Amino acid sequence: MTDIRVYRAGPADLGPLLALVAEFCAVDGHDFDERRVTRALGPLLRDDTHGQVWLAGPDAGYAVVTWGWSLESGGREALLDEIFVRERGRGLGARLLEAVTAAAAGAGAAVMFLETEAPNARVRQFYARHGFAAQDSVWMSRALD
């Protein structure tokens, strides 16, 4: 796995990235709407205004980080929106996570947040090994469209 390159994705990476996102959605049981995902990825692949996309491979995995702003965090914060690797247990997820946390810190983020599905204790153990801790707050959402 050490020979797989982890790098910042750009517009030319859209095709391989869409294939990985579709695979992630299938594995995780989410709907995949290619048009919606393409629209969301466009600004992230063009520049850093809204966040960053990182690839491992180009076809071994990816991570998406978006920016938020919070008084409690003291300014910019990062949200690890998605991370996916095809072959688990070989260290690539850790390399990808290390790359995106370093990039977020370099972009001025003071803290990185992420969410996991309630029954997924295995992935929370992975994140805990990499310095993430569960919080007492509960996220809620409301569709705005």
- Whether 32 shows a pLDDT value over 60: the answer reads yes
Across residues 101-106, what is the average pLDDT?
A: 97
Classify 108 in phi/psi space as left (phi over 0), alpha (psi -120 to 50) or beta.
Answer: left
Average pLDDT, the chain: 94
Rounded to a whole number, what is the largest CA-CA distance in the chain?
43
Q: What is the pLDDT of residues 57-78, one digit of tens each?
A: 889 999 999 999 999 999 999 9
CA–CA distance, 74 with 71 (Å, rounded to integer): 5
Identify whether the C-beta of residue 59 lies closer than 8 Å to the C-beta of residue 87. no
Q: What integer pLDDT is reported at residue 145 of this predicted model?
A: 83
